[in-house]
Chains A and B, each alone.
Chain A
């Protein structure tokens, strides 16, 4: 059974989990970075932002479309709140996307968002278990 190893009051612990979750959502990998899981955080940041950027490059920023691609947008916004800024740029149209590049772009950006959701849940769970402090040292010893 999972136990809470942190010496924090329940209110502080709740706030800490919220901070970790929000950080992980705002910047992919930041939640793990806060937990001193630096290697994990850097890997997650590079892979998720890389995947999202490739998706935007392939399909253009038009793949982030709040108006006509709302279901995809729900997945994409999980990558970062910054995706909302892209949606505000594209909401008036003017960035046409079509065919296979649109499919690939939407899939890449959508999967990047869903992968970040996995990372948010992972970071919050690690914060709840107090795992970062234990495992971080073991990883630092690895060359």
Chain B
């Protein structure tokens, strides 16, 4: 049976997220949400295919920029401290 109390209790304690490089993947759901909401408010007519395509393009471009920024910052760090 679906345990409602256990589900609610799971919101009272934080989950485990390590402070390693993999914690960066938490940015992707956030970027996806921002892309979906931004395009939903921006597009004049919300045609399903076009909306999904434009949201995907925005998601990919923002993600690409973030990954590029990570590489540049790591390169700078390596040049300065390495």
Residue ID in chain B nearest A143 by CB atoms: B48
Query: Residue B47 at the A interface, CB < 8 A?
Result: yes
Q: Which residues of chain A are near B23, meaning CB under 8 Å?
A: 100, 104
User: Contacts A58-B14, A58-B15 hold; do A118 and B37 have CB atoms under 8 A apart?
Assistant: yes
Residues of A within 8 A of B47 (CB): 139, 142
Contact with B along A89-120 (1 / 0, CB 8 A): 00000011111111011011001100100110
CA distance A48 to B46 in the complex (A): 18
Hey, which chain A residues are within 8 Å of B79, CB to CB? Answer: none
Count of CB-CB pairs between chains A and B under 8 Å: 90
Interface band, chain B: 20 to 34
CA distance A99 to B34 in the complex (A): 24
Closest to B29 in A: A54
* Chain A residues with a Cβ closer than 8 Å to the other chain, count: 40
**Contact, CB under 8 Å: A60 / B11:** yes
Give every chain A residue within 8 A of B29 (Cβ-Cβ).
51, 54, 108
Q: State how many angstroms separate the Cβ of B5 from the closest Cβ of chain A.
A: 15
Q: Is A138 an interface residue (CB 8 A)?
A: yes
Given the known interface contacts A40-B40, A58-B17, A62-B14, the answer about A142 and B33 at a Cβ–Cβ threshold of 8 Å is no
Q: Is A56 an interface residue (CB 8 A)?
A: yes
Which of B's residues lie within 8 Å of A, judged by CB? Answer: 10-19, 23, 26, 29-30, 33-34, 36-38, 40-41, 44-48
Offer 7 A-B interface pairs, CB within 8 angstroms, sorted by A: A48-B33, A60-B12, A95-B13, A102-B14, A112-B33, A115-B34, A139-B45
